[in-house]
Amino acid sequence: MNEELSITSNLDISIWGLILQADLVVRIVMLVLLFLSIFSWSIIFEKITKLKKLNKKAKKFENDFWSGVNIEKLHKSIENTPTHPMEAIFVTGMKELASSTTQNSSSKDISIIEKRIEKAMFSTMNREIEILEKNINFLATTGSAAPFIGLFGTVWGIMNSFQSIATAKNTSLAIVAPGIAEALLATALGLLAAIPAVIAYNKISTDLNRYSGGLEIFLNDLSNILSRHISSKK
């Protein structure tokens, strides 16, 4: 009994102690989960910050656009240096308008020009959204895979506990505790990586859908304005 108490008192059950005492496989599992967590948080902060800035820029640009300023003058102020997707869509539309319009065009040609401009703007919008969505799927992958990776570490830790019992032929706490503690820590790290990733993925996806919806509304409005502009030139 005294020997058991002595062994138990020598065990380091702090988180850092458990990591240092853990089996090699469990350590690898913990490192993988730590990497997933760190990379997920970097994506979360980057995307949330970027979307916040883009929404502010889009709001300011829309205010300028609907303030009654001449669209050609607005285009010249931006030229080839759009700083956000809405400006990129606007510049694309204006460039396509300039390169597609001709002095002698039939009504059929006008329809073709309008479709060409709209296609070009949609292509730009899709490209910009694709850039914004980069690495978002990593959050979904982390949210679904991290608990199972942690579960693998849990199973491995419990297996170590049973092997320790079989080897020592002793079911004392000193024999069982390290493996069980490793198992629980692996489970906790798995959940720690998964829960924020899932919550952030849902939030960022919703914000992205809302932002892309705003871009599409602007694109349709711009398409109508450019259509009237083409008609007035004929």
| Cα separation, 183 vs 152, whole angstroms | 9
Asked whether residue 45 is domain-assigned, the answer is yes
pLDDT in tens, 183-204: 788 888 899 999 999 999 999 9
- Residue 227 CA: distances (Å) to CA of 25, 145, 183: 64, 49, 65
Asked whether residue 22 is domain-assigned, the answer is no
- pLDDT for the residue numbered 107: 53
Asked whether residue 131 is domain-assigned, the answer is yes
Asked whether residue 170 is domain-assigned, the answer is yes
List the domain range (segments joined by +) for residue 34: 28-233
Q: Structural domain tally of the chain? A: 1
Q: What is the pLDDT along the chain (234 residues), one digit of tens a residue?
A: 444 444 444 555 565 566 666 678 888 888 999 999 999 999 999 999 999 999 999 999 999 888 877 888 888 888 778 899 999 999 999 988 888 765 555 555 778 888 889 999 999 999 999 999 999 999 999 999 999 999 988 888 888 777 766 676 666 656 666 667 777 888 888 999 999 999 999 999 999 999 999 999 999 999 998 888 777 765
Asked whether residue 104 is domain-assigned, the answer is yes
- pLDDT for the residue numbered 205: 95
Asked whether residue 34 is domain-assigned, the answer is yes
Q: What are phi and psi of 84, to 5 degrees?
A: -155, 165
Residue the block writes with tokens 């952030």: 200
| Cα separation, 31 vs 173, whole angstroms | 27
Asked whether residue 1 is domain-assigned, the answer is no
pTM score, whole prediction: 0.81
Task: Note whether 93 and 114 are within 8 A (CB).
Answer: no
How many C-beta atoms surround the C-beta of residue 74 within 10 A? 17
Asked whether residue 38 is domain-assigned, the answer is yes
Alpha-carbon Rg of the chain, whole angstroms? 29
